[in-house]
Amino acid sequence: SVNHLAKLTQQAQLDGVVCSPLEAKAIKEKFGEDFLTVTPGIRLTKGQDDQKRTATPYEAALNGCDYIVVGRPITQAEDPVAAYQAIKAEWQKGLAEKALF
């Protein structure tokens, strides 16, 4: 159903979709690198809360996510600035590794 909805989105001439970070790679492969993916469910560690379809910032970058949405890992952190910096560092590490492929 993800591919069907992404196809409808593309046919409507929209720029991309909101999807799980686990689906971004398949969407990019099927609809092209220019079709944007916005991905919530970003966590510093797997199994951190009640969501099942999550990924770390590093994994999201490797999967081709264009934009990540991060809420609770920052807002509920003991040190939100440190949490943000850790997320940013992981994201940048993943983007750098992806660029090598």
The span from the CA of 89 to the CA of 91, in Å, is: 5
First to last CA, the chain: 29
For residue 51, say whether it is annotated as part of any ligand binding site: yes
For residue 64, say whether it is annotated as part of any ligand binding site: no
Instruction: Tell me the three-class secondary structure of 77-93, residue by residue.
Output: CCCHHHHHHHHHHHHHH
For residue 53, say whether it is annotated as part of any ligand binding site: no
For residue 71, say whether it is annotated as part of any ligand binding site: yes
Binding residues for substrate: 43, 51, 71-72
Binding residues: 43, 51, 71-72
